[in-house]
Chain A
Amino acid sequence: MPARFGARRLGGRILWSPLLLGSSLAAWWSALQSSSITLAGSNVTAWASIVGGISATQVTGANQPTYAASGLNGLPTISFNGSSSYMTANVAQSASWSVQAVASTASLASYGSIITSDNDPARMAQYLRIETGGAIGSITFNTGGSFSLAATSTTVLTNTPFVCAAIRSATVQSIAAYLNDGGQGSATPTGTAQALTQVIRLGAQTNTPSLFLNGKISDLILVNRALTTLERQKMAASRAWAFGVQSSLDASTPYRSSPPRASLAELEQWADEHGWRVIDLAAHREQARRIYTPPRLLIVPHHGWRIAA
Chain B
Amino acid sequence: MTRYLVYPTQAEAQAAVDAIDARARVLFRAAGYAIDAQGAVIGKRDGADDPSGVTTTWDISRQRADGAWIVAHPEARAANDAEVRPGVTRADYVMQDLGSPVIEADPHDGTWFPSPAVLHP
Contact = CB atoms under 8 A, between A and B. Distances in A.
Interface stretch (A94-102, A204-212, A228-236, A285-293): A204-212
A63 B72 CA distance: 9
A149 interface: yes
A60 B59 contact: yes
A160 interface: no
Contact of B119 (A63, A64, A132, A149): A149
Nearest to A55: B52
B121 interface: yes
Contact of A59 (B2, B40, B44, B50): B40
Given A57-B53, A62-B77, A124-B118, A35 B45 contact: yes
A61 B57 contact: yes
B54 A45 contact: yes
A60 B55 contact: yes
Nearest to A126: B119
Interface string A44-66: 01101000000101011111101
Contacts of A132: 120
Given A57-B53, A59-B55, A59-B56, A38 B44 contact: yes
Given A43-B79, A46-B53, A207 B116 contact: yes
Nearest to B72: A62
Given A39-B44, A59-B40, A59-B54, A66 B79 contact: yes
B103 interface: no
Task: Indicate the member of A45, A111, A211 with the most B CB atoms within 10 Å.
Answer: A45
Secondary structure type dominating chain A contacts: mixed
Nearest to A207: B116
Interface string A113-144: 00000000001111000011000000100000
A42 B43 CA distance: 10
B56 A60 contact: yes
A40 interface: yes
Contact of A83 (B2, B56, B78, B119): B2
A238 B57 CA distance: 38
Contact of B43 (A39, A125, A211): A39
Interface in B95-121: 106, 113, 116-121
15 contacts: A38-B45, A38-B50, A38-B52, A38-B53, A39-B44, A55-B52, A59-B57, A61-B77, A62-B59, A62-B72, A83-B2, A83-B76, A83-B106, A111-B118, A132-B120
Interface of B: 2, 24, 28, 31, 33, 40-41, 43-46, 50, 52-60, 72, 76-79, 106, 113, 116-121
Which 5 A-B pairs have CB atoms at the shortest separation, nearest pair first?
A38-B53, A46-B53, A62-B72, A45-B53, A45-B43
